Amino acid sequence: MSGPRHVPVLLDRVVALLAPALDHPGSVLVDATLGLGGHSEAVLEACPQARLVGVDRDPQALELAGDRLSAYADRTTLVHAVYDRIPDVLEELGLPRVDGVLFDLGVSSMQLDVRERGFAYAQDAPLDMRMGDEGPTAADVLNSYPVEDLARILREYGEEKFAGRIARRIVAARESEPFATSARLVELLYDAIPAPARRTGGHPAKRTFQALRIEVNDEMQVLRRAIPAALEAVAVGGRVVVESYHSLEDRIVKQAFAAATRTDVPPDLPFVPDQAQPLFRAVTRGAEKAGPPEVTDNPRAASVRLRAVERTRQGAHA
């Protein structure tokens, strides 16, 4: 693999959380967002009895990860799929249950670094932003969405305070010329966001580019389907580990994990019957964050929220 190797976020902690579930012969980890394969490489090294099913919607990521994981090729199966298709992937592989599922959400370092993908606002590139090779691009969203929908995704997915103003500027600007490349959008954002706001909170294009990426890849809806599928897929003793980088992502994960670990019995019941015990227990206390040394070395770690649960008994997850 050419270029520098990117250090995965909270690598040691992720391995420590997954290892207890992968310490027996025939254990299987699903890395649902394989990316460049950094987390998976570390798990395969630390857990010599584990087998990996690496899933990614990005064919380029699968190719690069395959090179990185070549030393473990006999224990690795790579699958081109969006991560909400976990049930289909496991059925096709004849795996009724697995022992771990890992999600490292958001855009990968590789996608940011390849100019032509259009994820990065720091350089001019076609407004693509697709993690795979299908569906509408960011340019399609900018050039076709009504002003109300543009404002909504900027507000919800980008947490952009000036969503309405930016949406109106985009709709006005596309009348004379459709959006095609990132530089024109960045220029519009500099003009639309007031100067005092531009001086705080990072690059003024950051929130809009994030919102467009999430919309283009349908990330929130995919995640809402994928987390319950992952919980259903793990065997007793199996763990689901999720790294989120956006408040909406973390909220979806938090709510799903809370429901899976909740005991649903009257509070005055003197004991909890076995059949009413929750199917999962929390392995992390709330959301864990990266410490100052890692954030200094890897700025992407600043927003990470890490959560993990373990299946404690069999039963259908609702």
pLDDT at 119: 52
Number of other residues whose CB lies within 10 A of the CB of residue 49: 11
Query: Are residues 253 and 231 in contact, defined by beta-carbon separation less than 8 angstroms?
Result: no
In angstroms, the CA 26 to CA 31 distance is 16
Cβ neighbours, 10 Å, residue 191: 11
38 labeled part of a ligand binding site: yes
Is 255 labeled as ligand-binding?
Answer: no
pLDDT confidence of residue 1: 36
User: What domains appear along the chain, each with residue ranges and CATH number?
Assistant: 11-110+219-311 (3.40.50.150), 133-216 (1.10.150.170)
CB 129 within 8 A of CB 205: no
pLDDT of amino acid 108: 52
Helix (H), strand (E), coil (C) string for 216-256: HCCHHHHHHHHHHHHHHHEEEEEEEEEEECCHHHHHHHHHH
Structure tokens at 179: 């959006």
**In the block, which residue shows the tokens 């299946």?**
311
133 is in an annotated binding site: no
Q: What is the pLDDT of residue 132?
A: 76
CA distance 82 to 217: 10
- pLDDT at site 298: 87
Q: Are 83 and 32 in contact (CB under 8 A)?
A: yes
**291 annotated as ligand-binding:** no
| Cα–Cα distance, 118 to 115 (Å, whole number) | 6
Q: Is 56 annotated as a binding residue?
A: yes
* Positions in the chain whose pLDDT score sits under 50: 1-5, 110-113, 115-118, 317-318
Chain centre distance of CA 58: 13
Three-state DSSP at 56 gives strand
Three-state DSSP string of 240-309: EEEEECCHHHHHHHHHHHHHHHCCCCCCCCCCCCHHHCCCEEECCCCCECCCHHHHHHCHHHHHCEEEEE
Q: Tens of pLDDT along 225-247?
A: 999 999 999 999 999 999 999 99
In angstroms, the CA 227 to CA 252 distance is: 8
Considering only CA atoms, give the Rg of the chain: 21
